[in-house]
Structure 1
Amino acid sequence: MPALRRQISTLSTVNLNKTINSFIGNGNLQEARKLFDQSPHLTNVVSWNSLIAGYFKHNLIQQAEYLFDKMPHRDVVSWNTMLSGYRNANNPEKLQGLVLCLGISLNVFVGSALMRGYVDLDDYRGLARVFDEILDKDVTPWNVLILGYMKFGCTSEAQRAFDMMPMRNYFTWSTLINGYIENKKLNEARFIFDKMSEKDVVSWTAMIRGYAQYGEFMKALKLFKLMLNLGSRPNHFTFSTVLDACAGYSAVLVGNQVHACILKSGFPLDVILLTSLLDMYGKCGDIEVAFCIFESIPARNLVAWNSIIGGFARHGLAERAMQEFERMLKSGIRPDEITFINLVYACGHGGLVEEGERIFNSMVTEYGLKAEMEHYACMVDLYGRAGQLEKAEKLIDGMPFKPDVVVWGALLGACGLHSCLELGEIAANGIYTLEHDHPAVYSEMVLSSKEKQSSNEILLDECLVEVFKRLSSGQERSACGCVSKRWLMLLSSIRRDEAFAFKPNLPSNAEEEST
């Protein structure tokens, strides 16, 4: 206390505010408040605002409200602090009540902040109501309205608002494009993107990322090429997104060119770019180059570790994956759910059943992580590859949630590999229950049969035919009235005569399914 008093005696208002902010930054709100209370002659509006912001930052909302009510004078920052605080606390109703109580009209600033609060709360009506109450609107509330509509999945309303806007800025266009992408409407996003008279690097990157995000890798790469041809300069995020597209398309030659382009552009190879390069080379088949890039990363984060572990797992190098996992733990990085997906996958492809079981169980016992559907699917695949179908079935029966198509597909693939008709029918029925016309019911067993050329081949074919008989029966057809023609093609690759023998009578007006 004496030290604090000596400090107060030598403080000016500027130094007081710096000291208060220093206390708040270190999480020492008690000392900040003590210094504030003992220096009333030095405090100004900045001091009040800083302490209120500190209370909101640490979720001490009542203290922030109390201090705000006691303020002798409030400026724009004071209101902004309360607006941001309530919005981050997901409590826009309280803010609106405060505004109405004080008789403050909903100007653009206050109204837009309220709208963002209702967007965060998924309150469609609150968003629209506040927008209507703003009398003099500029571009900001319109942008928030479009952002909200897109978040709620109301793409038509967002487009209508966009068309009605008296003026637009870059954020408007980006919000609409990103909204369409998030709602999986890539064609609409591209249409708006093409209408932009001037495209900045943010809009280019957003559209490229949209294509890559939903598996349209070639379109992403073509758009990147167009971007370069038109003279627009990519940034770190653009290159990272393009490398993801190269990885998804296994386009290692294009990836090499992008790598060279990064080096020629003079961009510093930070952890984001290096991790993208590592992931690209790993997924394109050059795991040794991927490992060299990994070793060059000075400060490896969890994403980088997961990428190299996953790379070794995909290449069937289970022991290498385990070694990197041990190195990761020694470096102090804590694994997450993706780490364990990669590890169990590696054990499955490396035949390490006991190790896979140990790792799967350690998720909960050692790291407190919850096993998700992907982890169970990898475990079913691990048991299936090892021929331990009873363990796979028992694991599925004991799952805390109903298995999805991927889990049933892993079991079905194992049944095809080991010619287990009875369990294969259970797996096929599980997929059929979820998705009536899913080709995995058939393709998994066909692909597995090509891997297994033995005396059991005839039994496998019989299994396939029996499954197909059941699925093509009149009682168990899909809603469109026919069985997927892809199944027929897959069946004919093993026993063409059987495929035509059991081909169902398709309606003459049945629409062709897209392959």
Structure 2
Amino acid sequence: MISTLSVANRIQDFVRDGNINDARQLLDQNHKSCDTVAWNSMITGYITHNQMQCAHKLFDQMPVRDVVSWNTMMSGFNKTKDPHKLYQLFLQMNRAGETPNQFTFSTAISGFLNAFDVLVPQLHGLILRLGLHSNVFVGSALMRGYTHLADRESLQRVFDDVVVKDVSTWNALLVGYMELGLTDEAETIFDNMPEVNIISSTTLVNGYIINSKIDQARSIFDDMLQKNVVTWTAMIKGYTQYDNCIEAIQVFILMLKSGVCPNHFTLSTVLDACARCSTFHLGNQLHSCILKKGLHCEVVLLTALIDMYTKCGDIEAGFCVFESMEKKNTVSWNSVIGGCARHGLAKRALCEFEKMIESGFKPDHVTYINLLSACVHGGLVKEGERHFNSMGERYGIKPEMKHYSCMVDLYGKSGELEKAEKLVKEMPFEPDVGVWGALLSACGLHSCYEPANALENLAHDHPTIYSMLVKLHSEKGEWSRAIEMRKKMIEIGARQQKAGSRLDLV
């Protein structure tokens, strides 16, 4: 038998070194010498190594639990994004007579945000009863909760209740106001903060980007005396998501010149920018950079690399990267299936989908958009119908607008206009301009103009339809109607989109 302190210390050492099996063996051999600290350390080890079932089983076997035991298990369920088990454990903790502390509440609120939003005010009441409302951790967590509920008054009230506010408390208020779209108020808060750190400035930059104020974000960004990799990545991502990809790449170049080393999030964002503006040579150079940095095992980064290669026209390079991946996720499979669809490789897309299922991955709505798009490019009506119908039956995925748009496009291009019209009429929601556009394109392709006449009333709400109607009436020889449609376009200020091209000479 080993002393209680010695057992706890040795278990902690084993866990710290990643020797989970040795730690568990020591625990099993010294049950009588193990205190709660030793049990908690073992549970922490299991959670750290993503073995939640083992952690939960051991937790249930504990002879005595303290508040740390409960908090550790709750943090585990929060880590694995399992709000239902987190909720059950929180109830079990209260029924067992254990009083929650500030870490309990901060973990619970964080874990409940996407599943049990309504519990935030109830937890707030319990926090007030226990006198924890002035705690910094609890206050920050509650502020995140009320931001999620879009409750500005409660957000401000929680902030006021925190007696000793640190910079993280002010940052939480700043995040809240930005996420609620109150940019002017957020800027006032930033100006009045007694202490500002790099997180505060990055939060302001991010907030302006979220609220589509990219110029203000850049102004704050340029004024920052210090920038870390998170700040640079936020600015690059902001430009990318608003399709100003050239500016995003220029900011990335400035980042390299400043001496800040990009991480895998930065590189994946820049690869996204390269994919959007077809900057193949830079994307290829980033591939070399990824290999040199030893980041060839980063799933998110390699998925972005696949997306870049397929969108820039080198599908074979995309396949090579995909085949080299030691680990894949659903997004990785979606990228390669989408790449096949863009390059007209319908049969290959269907084959990759079958491999995805055989590998044990569950498809999502993006998978089916890519799969149906491949069927459209390949004219595979039967296969498209089969997969469209299997979405709900096999995987419980409800078809969304883009899925219907793909099917209308598939029927339309195959000359089955009656099926296309029938599908549009049977849709569980009002068709958008994409669905109508697919139907109109089919009408023009097969010189069938009857369905198009019924869409003129929708054109005012969807100006893009006017452009399609002008083309259809012109093809039909109805020049007066085509001129009428063009006049209506001018009246509502709609303009026909001009084609363009770009040549990368780097």
In 2, the alpha carbon distance for the partners of 1:426 and 1:440 equals 12
Q: Which residue, 383, 397, 422 being the options, matches 1:369?
A: 397
- Per the TM alignment, residue 466 of structure 1 is displaced from its structure 2 partner at its CA by 2.0
- Per the TM alignment, residue 121 of structure 1 is displaced from its structure 2 partner at its CA by 2.5
- Per the TM alignment, residue 99 of structure 1 is displaced from its structure 2 partner at its CA by 3.7
Which shifted more, 204-213 or 26-35? Answer: 26-35
Aligned twin of 2:487: 472
Q: Which residue, 57, 63, 68 being the options, matches 1:36?
A: 63
Aligned twin of 2:333: 305
In 2, the alpha carbon distance for the partners of 1:302 and 1:87 equals 26
Aligned twin of 2:254: 226
In 2, the alpha carbon distance for the partners of 1:5 and 1:309 equals 49
Structure 2 CA distance for partners of 1:19 and 1:206, relative to 1, 3 Å: closer
Deviations 1:100-119 (A, max 9, x none): 33445624333223222212
Structure 2 CA distance for partners of 1:469 and 1:211, relative to 1, 3 Å: same
Aligned twin of 1:484: 494
Aligned twin of 1:509: none
In 2, the alpha carbon distance for the partners of 1:167 and 1:415 equals 63
Q: 1:83–1:95: 8 Å Cα contact kept in structure 2?
A: no
User: Which letter does structure 2 place at the counterpart of 1:235?
Assistant: N
User: Which letter does structure 1 place at the counterpart of 2:139?
Assistant: G
Whether 2:382 is the aligned partner of 1:354: answer: yes
Structure 2 CA distance for partners of 1:420 and 1:81, relative to 1, 3 Å: same
Q: Which residue, 331, 335, 360 being the options, matches 2:363?
A: 335
User: Which letter does structure 2 place at the counterpart of 1:63?
Assistant: Q
Structure 2 CA distance for partners of 1:464 and 1:276, relative to 1, 3 Å: farther
- Per the TM alignment, residue 14 of structure 1 is displaced from its structure 2 partner at its CA by 3.4
Which shifted more, 149-158 or 338-347? Answer: 149-158
Which shifted more, 219-228 or 130-139? Answer: 130-139
Aligned twin of 1:216: 244
User: Which letter does structure 1 place at the counterpart of 2:92?
Assistant: Q
- Per the TM alignment, residue 18 of structure 1 is displaced from its structure 2 partner at its CA by 4.0
Structure 2 CA distance for partners of 1:297 and 1:88, relative to 1, 3 Å: closer
In 1, the alpha carbon distance for the partners of 2:299 and 2:74 equals 36
Aligned twin of 2:282: 254
Q: 2:167–2:195: 8 Å Cα contact kept in structure 1?
A: yes
> Which structure would you say has the larger Rg?
1
Identity %: 48
Structure 2 CA distance for partners of 1:99 and 1:485, relative to 1, 3 Å: closer
Structure 2 CA distance for partners of 1:101 and 1:336, relative to 1, 3 Å: closer
Q: What TM-score comes out, normalization by structure 2 length? A: 0.81
Whether 2:138 is the aligned partner of 1:113: answer: no
Whether 2:482 is the aligned partner of 1:460: answer: no
Deviations 1:487-511 (A, max 9, x none): 7x89xxxxxxxxxxxxxxxxxxxxx
Q: 1:252–1:284: 8 Å Cα contact kept in structure 2?
A: yes
In 2, the alpha carbon distance for the partners of 1:192 and 1:316 equals 44
Whether 2:125 is the aligned partner of 1:94: answer: no
- Per the TM alignment, residue 428 of structure 1 is displaced from its structure 2 partner at its CA by 4.6
Aligned twin of 2:467: 442
In 2, the alpha carbon distance for the partners of 1:6 and 1:225 equals 58
**Match runs of 1:19-418 below 5 Å:** 25-26=52-53, 32-33=59-60, 35-37=62-64, 46-47=68-69, 49-50=71-72, 58-60=86-88, 61-67=90-96, 69-70=97-98, 78-89=101-112, 90=117, 91-103=119-131, 106-418=134-446
User: Which letter does structure 2 place at the counterpart of 1:195?
Assistant: D
User: Which letter does structure 1 place at the counterpart of 2:37?
Assistant: V
- Per the TM alignment, residue 46 of structure 1 is displaced from its structure 2 partner at its CA by 3.8
Aligned twin of 1:511: none
Structure 2 CA distance for partners of 1:230 and 1:223, relative to 1, 3 Å: same
User: Which letter does structure 2 place at the counterpart of 1:111?
Assistant: G
Q: 2:46–2:54: 8 Å Cα contact kept in structure 1?
A: yes
In 1, the alpha carbon distance for the partners of 2:133 and 2:411 equals 66
SS of residue matched to 2:209? helix
- Per the TM alignment, residue 9 of structure 1 is displaced from its structure 2 partner at its CA by 3.2
In 2, the alpha carbon distance for the partners of 1:269 and 1:35 equals 38
Structure 2 CA distance for partners of 1:101 and 1:46, relative to 1, 3 Å: closer
Structure 2 CA distance for partners of 1:272 and 1:22, relative to 1, 3 Å: closer
Structure 2 CA distance for partners of 1:86 and 1:470, relative to 1, 3 Å: closer
Q: 1:409–1:441: 8 Å Cα contact kept in structure 2?
A: no
Q: 1:421–1:463: 8 Å Cα contact kept in structure 2?
A: no
Which shifted more, 212-221 or 23-32? Answer: 23-32
The aligned length equals: 457
Aligned twin of 1:503: none
Aligned twin of 2:8: none
Structure 2 CA distance for partners of 1:406 and 1:236, relative to 1, 3 Å: same
Q: Which residue, 37, 52, 60 being the options, matches 1:14?
A: 37
Q: 1:108–1:136: 8 Å Cα contact kept in structure 2?
A: yes
Q: 2:307–2:318: 8 Å Cα contact kept in structure 1?
A: yes
Structure 2 CA distance for partners of 1:244 and 1:159, relative to 1, 3 Å: same
Which stretches in structure 1 are left out of the alignment for 5+ residues? Answer: 38-42, 450-457, 491-515
- Per the TM alignment, residue 154 of structure 1 is displaced from its structure 2 partner at its CA by 1.5
SS of residue matched to 2:445? helix
User: How large is the RMSD of aligned CA atoms in angstroms?
Assistant: 3.0
